[in-house]
C-alpha cells in the first residue's frame, strides 16, 4: 500500500504522473476537490473501491465502487472530501482494486476559482 501524491491542476496545465496500482490498495490525501483518475490497460474490467469509513444516523455509508472498462478504460472518481473518505486514525483515504495488473492511478486536485 502506497501513499499516492496529490497533483494540482493549474491554469498553465497539468501533465499528470500515474503510479502503478498496488495489489493491496493505496492511500491518498482526500480533499474537497480531490479526484482519482484510474486507467485500466488490462484485458478485463476492474472494480475500484474507495472506502467510506463513516456512518450517518448509526448506519454505515456504502463504499464507492466504480467499474473501469478493460483495455483503454479510464474513470475519474470524486470529489473525495475528507468528511466522506478519511480514516479517523490517519486522515487518509483508502482505495482498493479488484485487480492491479496494468492499472495506473493519479490523485488530482482541481481547485475552485
Q: How far is CA 45 from the centre of its chain?
A: 16
Give the pLDDT confidence score for residue 29 in this predicted structure: 97
Record the pTM: 0.94
| pLDDT given at position 55 | 87
The closest alpha carbon to 31, from 111, 89, 106, belongs to 111
Q: In the numeric block, which cell numbers belong to residue 95? A: 482505495
Q: What is the pLDDT of residue 56?
A: 87
93 closest CA partner among 35, 42, 43: 35
Q: Which residue has the higher pLDDT, 112 or 37?
A: 37
Amino acid at each position: 500500500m502506497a501513499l499516492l501524491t496529490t497533483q494540482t491542476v493549474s491554469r498553465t496545465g497539468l501533465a499528470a504522473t500515474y503510479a502503478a496500482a498496488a495489489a493491496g490498495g493505496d492511500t491518498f490525501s482526500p480533499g474537497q476537490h480531490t479526484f482519482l483518475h484510474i486507467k485500466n490497460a488490462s484485458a478485463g474490467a476492474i472494480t475500484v473501491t474507495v472506502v467510506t469509513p463513516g456512518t450517518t444516523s448509526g448506519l454505515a455509508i456504502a463504499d464507492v465502487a466504480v467499474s473501469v472498462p478493460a483495455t483503454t478504460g479510464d474513470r475519474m472518481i470524486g470529489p473525495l472530501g475528507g468528511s466522506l473518505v478519511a480514516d479517523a486514525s490517519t486522515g487518509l483515504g483508502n482505495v482498493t482494486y479488484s485487480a492491479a495488473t496494468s492499472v495506473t492511478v493519479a490523485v488530482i486536485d482541481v481547485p475552485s476559482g
